[in-house]
Amino acid sequence: ISLVSSTLFFILEMLSRFRGGGEGRDRLLSLILSPNGDLPTVVDEEGKTIELLNDQLRGAMLSSTDESIVKVALGRVDASTSFNMICTFGLTTFSASNLLKNLDGLDESSFYEIPNVKRALPFVIAYRKRGAQGGEKFLSLLTRSLESFGKEEPMDECDAFILTPPPSIQYNNVNLPPEAPVLTKMELSKKLREMISTTSFALSSLEFRSASASETNTDVCLECLELNLKFFFSHVGAFNDMVQLLCAASEKFPSVKTKLRTLCAKVLKSAAVPPSIEDQIRKLAEGPVPSTAPKTTVPTKKPLDLKCATAEDLLETLHKRKNLTNIERARLINRFVLLRPEIIDIQMNTTEIDRQIARVFGVQSREGFDRLVAQLWLRASPETVYCILKRVLTQYNQNISPSAVMELLRHCASSSKYLNNLSKDELKTACAYMVEKVTEEFPSYPEYLINLVDFIHQLIPITGSSIMVELASHCVSIDRSTASRERRGAAAALLTELQKRFPCLHVSPCSMRISIQGGHNEISGADKELTTMLGCLFECKDDSDVASAIDSLTHIIHFNKKIVLRQLPVMSRLIARISENPSSQLKECRRFRWIINFLISSMIDLMDEIPSTNTVDLDRLIDGLLDFYEKHVSGTRDEIELSRRILDLLLSYLSSHRTDAREFIHVLGGDRVEGMIEVVRDEAFDEIKLVIDSI
């Protein structure tokens, strides 16, 4: 198979990080992993073998709850790799136990060859406390080595140990990447000319650092601004970057401040300054007169020392500094997660916790913080996640990003223990964030409404129908308020989608009253039960089981037609799945013919109940029946019977929804239906033929 080199890597990482079964996931896993558990061999275009299992992928696989993936990651793991893997967060008990057993196989000479071996101590103790087996011999060697050094007291395994924050012994020897070199005067001048010539003017930290390195380099930037005023006036962003660079350099070189002020005064007199930057140039031109006192050295702000910085310093820097390069931001984030593995420290007081949440979940400066939010579920304990959820939902905060809150809610929905005890006020806050997210996404991505309503359907068994009522109430209050047109439109669209998905939801047209008409819990349970019954119907192996399932479904259709109509998409998918089977498998199976006849009869009985605004699902079902006919029935002895049944369904469709049916036949092309009419040769279907002839 020819693939992009990184595709297999990301597929394996995705399979490792997302739990749960499902036919699609199992098929993908069996495709990637061979029956004996080996990874596929990857070669490049030159025929050279590429090593697929690197440390990053191995770490993700060891964190998986799927033991088949973990066993592959544990294959060919030596003691050195086991040591590096045990010194990470998020391993399962099964993975940690196997790694500890590998470490127990070390002899004393190999043990002392491992660099900085003491950093494994907190991880070994923590994983053993969580139930991991093994590691006794390795822990004994580690304790004896610490006693011989006399630098730290050995930790008894029975002592309490908290992973947050981790001990400082882990971070004494962190090797940070070297700083980028400073550009010379000629290099800086050439770099600025290239950016102006390509009109892609973007100053990185390298240019800022080089401009402040010497007064000569700063003069180069000042000269560039003076000679290219036309370019900078037409590119306001580039002008702001250059002024920011010169102002920063002027704090170090006072003479630059005078030169910049003189240039701005000259520009105001002789050039047509755009209104957007006129005030800024005027302020620079009217700057304070330089003092005649002897020159003194202006202290400059030292760059942040990562080795000495605390987690709070790093978080503050990520939040305030807007001009970080990707490399600088990655270094700050990597250092931050080392000092604070759970991202949010809930051991502090509530004020400090709220301040951390405002930084990580803030609506401003999301670049970099999205990465922290994504890692939160892999690093934080359930107690930490629950604490964050409760603090975020305490009250609505417009400075918190709705996208980050939605990611938090979707993660918490994977376990009922997070959301089943939410108060009414907390549900209201959650709904407020949902509506804000819809307001952001709806103009460019209307399909987000369907995704959100699907998510609400997932939450109802956990929170009850309260979440649906609160969300509808919030939408009504916005729709009937003086909010902006875009905001009201998004809220109204969400309310319409909610009522479409949940027929039991009733909104009073004259008041703000929201009510549930009928037992929603019973409807939701019946929906779930009917979906299961339909799936079992298509999977039955015995004719008697099929007959029994059809009897049960017929009873449900008779007493609750609305529930059956909501299952039309499920029926369409199941018919499509049957069509994918080989004809040899279907040829002698009477049960498939019974199922198809049952579905057609059911649709004919329900035709009058289908609203004219929701015939799309019916179109898909009929299209699936036509595909089944062409692939498995056309040209066989059963073609006349099935043709007649499908034509009966189309005739009923024309009688109840003539406009939609005509449009469906028109899109279909008519050829497939006309072929069945020729097979049946019955005047009863002349009306369908007239529709085809009029196309």
**Which of 13-22, 102-111, 493-502 comes out lowest in average pLDDT?**
13-22
Q: Is the pLDDT of residue 490 over 70?
A: yes
The better pLDDT of the pair 111, 227 is held by 227
The better pLDDT of the pair 21, 318 is held by 318
Q: Is the pLDDT of residue 646 over 70?
A: yes
Q: Is the pLDDT of residue 448 over 70?
A: yes
How much is the pLDDT for 18? 67
How much is the pLDDT for 170? 37
Q: Is the pLDDT of residue 255 over 50?
A: yes
How much is the pLDDT for 204? 73
**Which of 44-48, 133-137, 224-228 comes out lowest in average pLDDT?**
44-48
Distance set, CA 91 to CA 8, 395, 413, 492 (Å): 22, 35, 22, 45
Q: Is the pLDDT of residue 7 over 90?
A: no
Strands (DSSP E) contained in 424-513 are 505-507
- Work out whether strand 42-43 and strand 514-516 pair parallel, antiparallel, or are unpaired: unpaired
**Which of 170-184, 291-305, 578-592, 670-684 comes out lowest in average pLDDT?**
291-305
How much is the pLDDT for 179? 45
Show Cβ contacts of residue 677 under 8 Å, excluding neighbours closer than 6 positions.
643, 647, 685, 688, 689, 692
Q: Is the pLDDT of residue 521 over 90?
A: no
Q: Is the pLDDT of residue 35 over 70?
A: no
How much is the pLDDT for 271? 63
How much is the pLDDT for 135? 80
* pLDDT (mean) for 127-154: 70
How much is the pLDDT for 289? 39
Q: Is the pLDDT of residue 380 over 80?
A: yes
- DSSP secondary structure code for residue 42 in this structure: E
* pLDDT (mean) for 259-269: 82
Q: Is the pLDDT of residue 169 over 60?
A: no
* pLDDT (mean) for 8-31: 72
Q: Is the pLDDT of residue 432 over 90?
A: yes
Q: Return the H-helix or E-strand segment holding 240.
A: helix 236-250
**Which of 258-262, 501-505, 526-530, 676-680 comes out lowest in average pLDDT?**
526-530
Cα(82)–Cα(72) distance, rounded to whole angstroms? 14
Percent of the chain with pLDDT over 70: 82
* pLDDT (mean) for 443-462: 87
Can you give the length of the chain in residues? 695
**Which of 343-352, 472-481, 560-569, 678-687 comes out lowest in average pLDDT?**
560-569
The better pLDDT of the pair 276, 469 is held by 469
Cα(310)–Cα(316) distance, rounded to whole angstroms? 10
Q: Is the pLDDT of residue 548 over 60?
A: yes
How much is the pLDDT for 389? 92
* pLDDT (mean) for 14-41: 72
How much is the pLDDT for 87? 78
**Which of 65-79, 208-222, 330-344 comes out lowest in average pLDDT?**
65-79
How much is the pLDDT for 431? 93
Do 196 and 231 touch, CB atoms closer than 8 A? yes
Q: Return the H-helix or E-strand segment holding 516.
A: strand 514-516
Q: Which residues of 232-271 are buried (b: 16+ CB within 10 A; e: fewer)?
A: bbebeebbebbbebbebbbebbeebbebbbebbbebeeee
Quick one: pLDDT band at residue 172, thresholds 50, 70, 90? very low
* pLDDT (mean) for 338-347: 86
Cα(402)–Cα(283) distance, rounded to whole angstroms? 37
How much is the pLDDT for 171? 37
The better pLDDT of the pair 145, 297 is held by 145
Q: Which residues of 176-190 are buried (b: 16+ CB within 10 A; e: fewer)?
A: eeeeeeebeeeebbe
Cα(450)–Cα(455) distance, rounded to whole angstroms? 9
Q: Is the pLDDT of residue 518 over 70?
A: no
The better pLDDT of the pair 614, 428 is held by 428
Strands (DSSP E) contained in 28-172 are 42-43, 49-50
How much is the pLDDT for 39? 74
Q: Is the pLDDT of residue 295 over 60?
A: no
How much is the pLDDT for 298? 42
Q: Is the pLDDT of residue 356 over 80?
A: yes
* pLDDT (mean) for 617-625: 85
The better pLDDT of the pair 315, 176 is held by 315
Q: Is the pLDDT of residue 495 over 80?
A: yes
Quick one: pLDDT band at residue 293, thresholds 50, 70, 90? very low
How much is the pLDDT for 180? 47
HEC string of 622-660 equals HHHHHHHHHHHHCCCCCHHHHHHHHHHHHHHHHHHCHHH
* pLDDT (mean) for 470-478: 90
Q: Is 322 helix (H, G, I), strand (E, B) or coil?
A: coil
Percent of the chain with pLDDT over 90: 5
* pLDDT (mean) for 606-617: 78
Residue in the block written with tokens 């040829």: 587
- CA trace torsion 520, 521, 522, 527 (10° rounding): 90
Quick one: pLDDT band at residue 224, thresholds 50, 70, 90? confident
Mean pLDDT (the chain) is 77
Q: Is the pLDDT of residue 449 over 80?
A: yes
Quick: pLDDT tens for 301-338. 445 556 667 888 888 888 777 777 778 888 888 888 88
Quick one: pLDDT band at residue 292, thresholds 50, 70, 90? very low
